[in-house]
Amino acid sequence: MSGAYDDRDGVIWMDGTFVPWREAKVHVLTHALHYASAVFEGERAYSGKIFKSREHSERLLTSCDLLDIPRPYSVDELEAAKSEALERSGLQDAYVRALIFRGSGPDMGVASARNPVCTSIAVWEWGAYYGDAKMNGAKLDISKWKRPSPETIPSKAKASGLYMICTMSKHAAEAKGCSDALMMDYRGYVAEATGANVFFVKDGEVHTPKPDCFLDGITRRTVIDLLKERGVKVIERHIDPAEMEGFEQCWLTGTAAEVTPVGQIGDYTFEVGALTRDIASAYEKLVRGVLQAA
């Protein structure tokens, strides 16, 4: 599938009904467009099955709770809708985007309690998020924007509004020839990339930032489980940026990113080593059902 995302064949699930892809539209005065009152999930299907689908649906509704958005559907209803949307797409390997947002209604200020809550599910074909970087190692910029304090935002929610600084950071990175950007948190510690968590390797041990002000990714937790099954020590802690000079390997994790090796972050370089390749291979086997699901 190629071309603009609003000009494709197929159908999109919207509030209980499948509509032609090109007709899946909202009004310009949709509250979420103006005030970012939206939450979403990005999921991948492999061989016709969405990986950890139920966990994604549960997190989607938790995000609703954190943003004071009424739950429009139950987990079981979302699971059924996603399954049918995937089936109707005709795809076996696909990306699934579920979105819940406040629509247009009587309210058009900051408050929107009287507006309807809308839900959509779209499925499309999407390859490697970082292209060739998945094999050769991504090059990352270091963003000037920081992940904010959890006292200022619902950092455990996968909320649309939290991604604006990510968009700005990735645009700046791409302008420099990089695939993505690494972001620090409000204290100056290493946090995450714009849409993926980060891991480092030193002396056979794995270090990853403590997710106390950013999203604890489903893929992140899956990879931690895979590492522990292999007897690899995983240390979740605050990481000072200067420590990157001493790390030997690095990779990113995320539903879109899967497990992507990193070759460079700013002036720091990393090898695409054996552990990185092993964990990337293990994750690939797990999502395709070759390994027993964690």
Residues marked active site are found at 158
Residues in the chain: 294
Helix (H) or strand (E) holding 31, with range, is: helix 31-35
Tokens, residue 174: 């791409």
Q: Which residues lie closer than 8 Å to 209 by C-beta, 6 or more apart?
A: 185, 189, 190, 191, 192, 197, 198, 236, 237, 238, 239
Distance CA 199, CA 22 (A): 39
Cβ-in-10-Å burial (0-12, 13-18, 19+) of 236 comes to middle
Tokens, residue 11: 């159908």
Distance CA 35, CA 113 (A): 13
**Whether 132 contacts 57, CB under 8 Å:** no
Cβ-in-10-Å burial (0-12, 13-18, 19+) of 276 comes to buried
Q: In degrees rounded to 5, what are phi and psi of residue 146?
A: -115, 150
Q: Which residues lie closer than 8 Å to 74 by C-beta, 6 or more apart?
A: none
Distance CA 172, CA 163 (A): 14
Distances (CA, A) of 126 to 13, 231, 250: 18, 33, 24
Beta-strand pair 234-237/249-254: unpaired
